[in-house]
Protein backbone atom coordinates (compact mmCIF):
# COMPACT_ATOMS: atom_id res chain seq x y z
CA UNK A 1 0.00 0.00 0.00
CA UNK A 2 1.03 3.55 -0.57
CA UNK A 3 1.92 5.72 2.41
CA UNK A 4 -0.40 8.57 1.30
CA UNK A 5 -3.18 7.93 3.83
CA UNK A 6 -3.72 4.35 2.66
CA UNK A 7 -6.16 2.73 5.07
CA UNK A 8 -6.63 -0.73 3.61
CA UNK A 9 -7.26 -2.75 0.55
CA UNK A 10 -8.94 -5.73 -1.01
CA UNK A 11 -8.54 -8.12 -3.94
CA UNK A 12 -10.58 -9.77 -6.64
CA UNK A 13 -9.49 -12.63 -8.91
CA UNK A 14 -7.44 -10.30 -11.12
CA UNK A 15 -6.03 -7.35 -9.17
CA UNK A 16 -5.56 -5.71 -5.81
CA UNK A 17 -7.10 -2.39 -4.80
CA UNK A 18 -5.88 0.20 -2.30
CA UNK A 19 -8.23 2.47 -0.36
CA UNK A 20 -6.79 5.93 0.34
CA UNK A 21 -8.38 8.44 2.72
CA UNK A 22 -8.39 12.13 1.82
CA UNK A 23 -6.68 12.94 5.13
CA UNK A 24 -5.45 11.15 8.24
CA UNK A 25 -7.97 12.89 10.52
CA UNK A 26 -11.70 13.09 9.72
CA UNK A 27 -11.43 12.40 5.99
CA UNK A 28 -14.41 13.54 3.93
CA UNK A 29 -13.63 11.20 1.04
CA UNK A 30 -11.65 8.18 0.00
CA UNK A 31 -10.53 6.80 -3.31
CA UNK A 32 -9.93 3.29 -4.53
CA UNK A 33 -6.95 2.83 -6.82
CA UNK A 34 -5.35 -0.09 -8.60
CA UNK A 35 -2.53 -0.64 -11.05
CA UNK A 36 1.17 -1.20 -10.58
CA UNK A 37 1.74 2.44 -9.66
CA UNK A 38 -1.64 2.89 -7.95
CA UNK A 39 -2.54 5.42 -10.60
CA UNK A 40 -5.72 3.83 -11.96
CA UNK A 41 -8.56 5.50 -10.03
CA UNK A 42 -11.43 3.06 -9.70
CA UNK A 43 -13.79 4.97 -7.43
CA UNK A 44 -13.96 8.15 -5.36
CA UNK A 45 -16.52 8.35 -2.56
CA UNK A 46 -17.12 11.84 -1.15
CA UNK A 47 -19.44 13.27 1.48
CA UNK A 48 -18.38 10.98 4.33
CA UNK A 49 -18.68 13.69 6.98
CA UNK A 50 -21.89 15.24 5.71
CA UNK A 51 -23.60 11.93 4.97
CA UNK A 52 -24.35 13.15 1.45
CA UNK A 53 -22.43 10.31 -0.21
CA UNK A 54 -21.47 10.52 -3.85
CA UNK A 55 -19.69 7.83 -5.83
CA UNK A 56 -17.66 8.89 -8.85
CA UNK A 57 -16.26 6.11 -11.01
CA UNK A 58 -13.03 6.21 -12.97
CA UNK A 59 -13.17 6.28 -16.75
CA UNK A 60 -12.78 2.55 -17.38
CA UNK A 61 -14.67 1.53 -14.26
CA UNK A 62 -17.92 3.39 -14.91
CA UNK A 63 -18.88 0.69 -17.43
CA UNK A 64 -18.90 -2.07 -14.80
CA UNK A 65 -22.13 -4.00 -14.37
CA UNK A 66 -24.24 -2.81 -11.42
CA UNK A 67 -23.52 -5.91 -9.29
CA UNK A 68 -19.76 -5.45 -9.80
CA UNK A 69 -20.04 -1.81 -8.73
CA UNK A 70 -21.92 -2.83 -5.59
CA UNK A 71 -19.19 -5.35 -4.77
CA UNK A 72 -16.41 -2.77 -5.21
CA UNK A 73 -18.30 -0.22 -3.09
CA UNK A 74 -18.93 -2.74 -0.29
CA UNK A 75 -15.31 -3.88 -0.24
CA UNK A 76 -14.07 -0.29 -0.26
CA UNK A 77 -16.29 0.73 2.66
CA UNK A 78 -15.17 -2.33 4.64
CA UNK A 79 -11.51 -1.50 4.00
CA UNK A 80 -12.08 2.17 4.88
CA UNK A 81 -13.97 1.56 8.13
CA UNK A 82 -12.12 -1.55 9.40
CA UNK A 83 -9.22 0.42 11.01
CA UNK A 84 -11.66 2.90 12.56
CA UNK A 85 -13.77 0.13 14.07
CA UNK A 86 -10.65 -1.59 15.42
CA UNK A 87 -9.49 1.68 17.00
CA UNK A 88 -12.91 2.18 18.59
CA UNK A 89 -12.77 -1.35 20.03
CA UNK A 90 -9.27 -0.71 21.39
CA UNK A 91 -10.40 2.48 23.12
CA UNK A 92 -13.08 0.54 25.00
CA UNK A 93 -10.54 -1.92 26.39
CA UNK A 94 -9.80 -1.39 30.06
CA UNK A 95 -6.79 -3.04 31.68
CA UNK A 96 -7.61 -2.93 35.31
Give me the tens of pLDDT residue by residue for the chain, a chain 96 residues long: 445 788 899 999 999 999 999 998 889 999 999 998 889 999 999 999 999 999 999 999 999 999 999 999 999 999 998 865 555 555 555 555
Collapsing DSSP states into helix, strand and coil, what is residue 72?
Answer: helix
pTM: 0.81
* In-domain check, residue 53: yes
* In-domain check, residue 94: no
Q: Are the CB atoms for 6 and 19 separated by under 8 Å?
A: yes
Number of domains comprising the chain:
1
* In-domain check, residue 41: yes
* In-domain check, residue 1: no
* In-domain check, residue 45: yes
Q: Kindly report the number of other CB atoms within 10 A of residue 38's CB atom.
A: 17
* In-domain check, residue 55: yes
Q: How far is the C-alpha of 20 from the C-alpha of 32, rounded, in Å?
A: 6
Amino acid sequence: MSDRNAVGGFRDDYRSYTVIASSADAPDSFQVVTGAAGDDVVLVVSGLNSGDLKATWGRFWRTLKPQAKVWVEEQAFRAFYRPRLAAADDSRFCDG
